[in-house]
Amino acid sequence: MPARARLALAAVGVTAGAVALLSPTPATPARAAAPPAPVVVADTATATAPAPVRVRVPAIGVDSPVPAIGVDGDGALVPPADFTRAGWFAAGPAPGETGPAVLAGHVDDRSGPAVFFRLEELSAGDEVVVDRADGSQVTFTVTRVAAYPKTDFATAEVYGPTADAQLRLITCGGEFDRDRRSYTDNVVVYARLSS
């Protein structure tokens, strides 16, 4: 897979061996500083929510199956090989569980737009609907959209424990660096479980 086709989160210090399993309710840590913090995820041993199978974001026309994804040998979060699909970071909480569930997808490829091409167009109040393996649904409301340089990614803010069920949608953004064959930023959509 070409380097530009990956969400290059390795730059933030995410390594497969450094993923910390924490209780889902500690205070949210401050934004990561150099050296960046490892990814922190909720303790999946106490997982109670069913796995996600589909995500829909009506405001930007997303309707995608959601396979499980993980990190590569360098610790970079790897979206599905199919550019039309978003993936769920299965080492973290499932959507609807306490903590930040993470869905990631490509922004584009050589042939054009991919599943999360319009992600940065979302705004507070937009809805994200996740269908789950047991036939249930959970709806999240977008609270904000942020962009972070890959060299200064807000690891703790994105992956850190939360007191409630939240969702993060992640893709690439910023300028495309032709020399590195990668985008300079990551776009992150933050959302909370709707009541």
* Sequence-separated (6 or more) residues with CB below 8 Å from residue 25: 98, 161, 163
Residue 140, sorted as left (phi over 0), alpha (psi -120 to 50) or beta, turns out to be beta
Which residues are annotated as catalytic?
Answer: 106, 172
* Integer Cα distance of 145 and 88 in angstroms: 19
* 57-62-64 Cα angle (round to 5): 110
The beta strand positions in the chain, using DSSP E, are: 20-22, 40-42, 52-57, 62-65, 68-69, 87-89, 99-104, 108-109, 112-113, 127-132, 137-149, 165-177, 182-193
